[in-house]
Amino acid sequence: MLMYGSKDLILLGYTDSDFQSDKDARKSTSESIFTLNGGAVVWRSIKQSCIADSTMEAEYIAACVAAYEAVWLKKFLTDLEIVPNMHLPITLYCDNSGAVANSREPRSHKRGKHIERKYHRIREIVHRGDVTVTKISSEQNMADPFIKALMAKVFESYLHGLGLYCL
């Protein structure tokens, strides 16, 4: 039996992206991880389908993909009906200030007009109250280990932050 130790389910998401790590196709990689009451439950690392022109755009796309996942997880956990209360909105942490600001904006600005329309759906998700996108430092971003090599001690601290321990 899996126990989470709380009356409420607290689902947190972390998202990150590199910038054009695929040197041939010039595509970036999106990473996300979700924790449920402190334990990792879903994670993914996937190449983005379009070419991002900036780090902000790559991070914004990663946040959008993670927001879709958050909405699905919310519905899945609610449909299970195991715990009566789920802490809402789901907090999605992102370490890029531009991507965080862009997810809250109701309109596009000069620098972001070229971003594919489907990625702006995150604004609707945020406005609806399903997800709130919050700035976090790179050092605290649990999705960070997906995009770069880390020293063993730093990596272990991320594992503990995700509720993972060596036996």
Based on the structure, what is the number of domains in the chain? 1
100 domain residue, yes or no: yes
Measured between alpha carbons, how far is 30 from 28 in angstroms, rounded to an integer? Answer: 7
1 domain residue, yes or no: no
pLDDT per residue over 19-62, tens digit each? 877 778 888 888 999 998 888 889 888 887 878 778 888 898 89
Q: Please report, for the domain that includes residue 127, its CATH number.
A: 3.30.420.10
51 domain residue, yes or no: yes
Instruction: With cut-offs at 50, 70 and 90, classify the pLDDT of residue 1.
Output: very low
**Under 8 Å CB-to-CB from 161, ≥6 apart: which residues?**
142
Determine the length of the chain.
167
pLDDT at 14 over 50: yes
Q: What is the mean pLDDT of residues 148-162?
A: 68
The answer, as to whether pTM is greater than 0.85, is no
Measured between alpha carbons, how far is 155 from 21 in angstroms, rounded to an integer? Answer: 21
Owning domain of residue 155? 8-161
What is the average pLDDT value for the chain, to the nearest integer? 80
